[in-house]
Amino acid sequence: MSLYTEITKLPRDPIIGLTELFKNDKRSTKYNLGVGVYLDENGNVPVLESVKKAAQLLYEKKDPCVYLPMVGLESFCEATKKLLFGLTYSSNVNIITTQTLGGTGALRLGAELLQRTKTVPFVAISEPSWENHRNIFESAGFKVKTYPYYDPNTNSFLFEQFLTFLKSLPKYTVVVLHANCHNPTGIDPAEEEWQEILDIIQKLDLIPFFDLAYQGFKASLKEDVSVLQTYIKFEKPFLVANSFSKNFSLYGERVGALSIFSCSHEESIKIQSHLKNIIRSLYSTPPTYGQRIVEQVLSNQKLYAIWQSEIQLMRTRITDMRNQIVKAFEEENLTSFSFIKDQHGMFSYSGLEKIHAEELRKKFGVYILDSGRICIAALNKNNLKYVTNAISAVVYKKMIQTKSF
């Protein structure tokens, strides 16, 4: 009997754990289409021009590396608030924006705060959802249920089923919503559907917790926050976890924010005291470098314009890859993948199964998630043919096996 006898080995993380497998793969031809990381046309994680320029400015300033306030640098939080809610709400005292360790940190911080309210019956996430959502909320002590979201037979959003589910929820249920570029399906509600969803949520006093990890990857920085701007008009409590990992290509810096809208300034003050207390118990104060870069870009018109065009470039390249992969599949006589063109963001929920994912990995060094999620943003003209050939080989093999039964 040792100290650790009672703990058992857990399975690998479905996303980050897959990257570990990928790194240990010694083959020279291998592609990681698992994790949500944008790669440029040469297969590299880009260093954005706007980020380089901001880094140069920071270098010249030579600011000392002091402890930041527990809730992060005020100018960063203010700039983030403006980016999410627009000028009209940028000085609204009922919104508190706190710097967090990426989007994950924002979700967890929000979950810890909600746990302290003792009023949330449970948390609802979509089926399917980002692989880490359940883990985050369960780790904060919540029961997590799933809501109907995606029909794999038609590759479409289960709007009516979702509404019926929402109407059955008790007051203060937290509903985790992907603000855009739903992860993993890439299927978002249409504008009119959002209106209805948000209206029911506010009428029933449910608590939406928006996860915004892909701002700029669907239509534009502005359009991709329209859902937040619609909801804020109801003046009902909600939370937003946003990440700057993808749109700044600053994955390792862990820059994100949690924004909480509450109904009064008194409530905001109480909430902030708890956020400070939670942060202090976890990591005291957030790191400085990444958020300074983001703050520089957000508050400097020239850098902001460069950043905007860089996001547009990433977005366009992903759309191009969507079109090209569908075309390449058609050349392989796989005509059933045209839905990939209708999805948004980095991913395609391909319909491939675990057995395909395992074979792709073993035989071809092509890493996709066991759920069938493929990171389209990691495709380029050099690996596209290889990847589609590999997928075609595993799909055909499965079809032949099925027929022979």
Chain contacts with ligand LMR (rule: CB under 6 A)? 15, 35-36, 130, 132, 183, 213
User: CB 20 → ligand LMR: shortest distance, Å?
Assistant: 13
* Residue tagged active-site, from 81, 211, 218, 224: 211
Region at 354 (left for phi over 0; alpha for psi -120 to 50; beta for the rest)? alpha
Nearer to ligand LMR, 43 or 170 (CB): 43
- For residue 302, the SS3 value is helix
* Residue tagged active-site, from 81, 224, 246, 307: 246
User: CB 154 → ligand LMR: shortest distance, Å?
Assistant: 24
Nearer to ligand LMR, 35 or 221 (CB): 35
User: CB 88 → ligand LMR: shortest distance, Å?
Assistant: 30
Nearer to ligand LMR, 213 or 303 (CB): 213
Q: Using CB atoms, what's the residue nearest to ligand LMR?
A: 36
Q: Which residues pair with 31 in a beta bridge?
A: 366
User: CB 234 → ligand LMR: shortest distance, Å?
Assistant: 28
* Residue tagged active-site, from 53, 81, 130, 236: 130
Nearer to ligand LMR, 89 or 137 (CB): 137
DSSP annotation string for 339-389: GGGG--SSEEE----HHHHHHIIIII-EE--TT-EEEGGG--TTTHHHHHH
Q: Counting beta carbons within 10 angstroms of the beta carbon of residue 267, is it exposed (0 to 12), middle (13 to 18) or buried (19 or more)?
A: middle
Nearer to ligand LMR, 130 or 137 (CB): 130
- 151 an active-site residue? no
Single out the residue of 346, 336, 317, 342 nearest to residue 392, CA to CA: 336
Q: Distance between CA 215 and CA 225 in Å, rounded?
A: 7
Helix (H) or strand (E) holding 98: strand 95-101
- For residue 47, the SS3 value is coil
Q: Distance between CA 114 and CA 96 in Å, rounded?
A: 15
User: CB 251 → ligand LMR: shortest distance, Å?
Assistant: 8
- 194 an active-site residue? no
301 CB neighbour count, 10 Å cutoff = 7
Active site residues: 130, 211, 246
